[in-house]
């Protein structure tokens, strides 16, 4: 196949090119996941990629690992089962914004609360792309969508704050434009022993971009370039963060991990049985 070595190694090349629209940020973000896994040198057989339903959830179909395409919003429930059955696996969950925060909102907060060692990556394109551009829980207020022709009156979720509040032990955000930062966050998330939540701001030129007159894919990349500020910069100069999207590593605080705590219980039980 006519492609780069890294593509040949980690993708099911016979399934490419992927289904996403021209300029979709999901492809760029999927590449950051691949590069992070390559950088850490993880064995392909030890990696499981799980997804739900939506544009973003098509990603595992193209990635050559142990992959599972599950039901809408339930990717974390399936991933929890996989991790509990075999804690040695590196479990990665790829979800969209609607998948993770609307129908799967409860799974997200409870997986975070338990601090189970799953790396959750959300491809957030601010809209339900696959079903025709309905507004999602992360569509900004006053933005347009198929189901919000006069502007969205909802207030969007800050997914990173939600995950941190629910108990995730590693939280970060990057964008499709900030691909090297995204890769670094995924690497750190994979190394973190606990629930890691990484939000990747994606771009949907077909629905979100067109409805909101954001221009083509390059213009939307440029928007991220001009309107995102790293948390470290804002901590030094708070005025630089005004009306900007914050990116970077937000939180990293270890806590007891769920499968390890469960193993302690199993061992205690075995000891009791022996007596």
Residue 226 in the binding site for another protein (CB under 8 A): no
Residue 64 in the binding site for another protein (CB under 8 A): no
| Residue from 63, 76, 145, 179 binding another protein (CB under 8 A) | 179
Quote the least distance from Cβ 7 to another protein, whole Å. Answer: 5
Quote the least distance from Cβ 90 to another protein, whole Å. Answer: 22
The residues, any chain, with a CB within 8 Å of residue 24's CB and separated by 6 or more, are 55, 125, 129, 202, 203, 204, 205, 206, 217
Quote the least distance from Cβ 230 to another protein, whole Å. Answer: 18
Total residues contacting another protein by CB under 8 A comes to 28
Residue 231 in the binding site for another protein (CB under 8 A): no
The string over 76-113, giving b where at least 16 C-beta atoms fall within 10 Å of a residue's C-beta and e elsewhere, is bbbbbebbeeebebbbbbbbbbbbbbbbbbebbbebbe
d(CA 32, CA 187): 10
**Ramachandran class of 43: left when φ > 0, alpha when ψ lies in -120 to 50, beta otherwise:** beta
Residue 275 in the binding site for another protein (CB under 8 A): no
Nearer to another protein among residue 165 and residue 180 (C-beta): 180
Nearer to another protein among residue 51 and residue 169 (C-beta): 51
Residue 217 in the binding site for another protein (CB under 8 A): yes
Q: According to CB under 8 A, which residues from 144 to 163 bind another protein? A: none
| Residue from 81, 165, 180, 256 binding another protein (CB under 8 A) | 180
A 10 A CB-CB count for 235 gives 11
Using alpha carbons, list the distances in angstroms from residue 226 to 31, 187, 235: 22, 25, 18
Nearer to another protein among residue 17 and residue 43 (C-beta): 17
Quote the least distance from Cβ 220 to another protein, whole Å. Answer: 9
Instruction: Return the DSSP state at 200.
Output: E
Q: According to CB under 8 A, which residues from 9 to 28 bind another protein? A: 11, 16-18, 20-28
Nearer to another protein among residue 160 and residue 220 (C-beta): 220
Residue 5 in the binding site for another protein (CB under 8 A): yes
Give the three-state DSSP class for 97. helix
Residues β-bridged to residue 68:
50
Q: What is the DSSP string of 108-154?
A: HHHHHHHT-SEEEEEEE-SEETTTT-EE-TTSPTT--BTTBTT---S
For binding to another protein (CB under 8 A), which residues are involved? 2-5, 7, 11, 16-18, 20-28, 31, 177, 179-180, 205, 216-218, 221-222
């Amino acid at each position: 196949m006519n492609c780069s070595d890294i593509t040949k190694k980690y993708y099911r090349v016979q399934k490419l090119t992927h289904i996403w629209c021209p300029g979709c940020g999901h492809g760029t973000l999927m590449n950051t996941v691949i590069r992070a896994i390559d950088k850490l040198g993880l064995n392909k057989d030890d990696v499981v990629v799980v997804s739900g339903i939506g544009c973003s959830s098509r990603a595992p179909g193209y990635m050559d690992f142990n992959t599972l395409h599950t039901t809408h919003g339930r990717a974390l429930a399936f991933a929890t089962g996989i991790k509990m059955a075999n804690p040695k696996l590196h479990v990665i969950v790829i979800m969209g914004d609607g998948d993770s925060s609307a129908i799967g909102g409860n799974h997200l907060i409870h997986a975070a609360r338990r601090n189970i060692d799953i790396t959750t990556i959300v491809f957030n394109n601010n809209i339900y792309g696959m079903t025709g551009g309905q507004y999602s829980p992360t569509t900004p207020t006053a933005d347009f969508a198929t189901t919000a022709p006069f502007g969205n009156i909802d207030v969007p979720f800050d997914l990173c704050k939600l995950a941190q509040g629910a108990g995730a032990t590693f939280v970060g955000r990057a964008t499709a434009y900030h691909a090297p930062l995204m890769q670094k966050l995924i690497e750190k998330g994979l190394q973190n022993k606990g629930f890691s939540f990484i939000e990747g701001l994606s771009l949907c030129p077909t629905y979100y971009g067109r409805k909101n007159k954001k221009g083509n894919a390059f213009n939307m990349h440029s928007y991220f370039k001009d309107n995102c500020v790293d948390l470290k910069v804002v901590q030094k100069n708070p005025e630089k963060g005004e009306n900007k999207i914050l990116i970077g590593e937000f939180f990293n605080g270890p806590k007891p991990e769920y499968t390890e705590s469960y193993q302690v219980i199993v061992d205690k039980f075995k000891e009791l049985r022996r007596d």
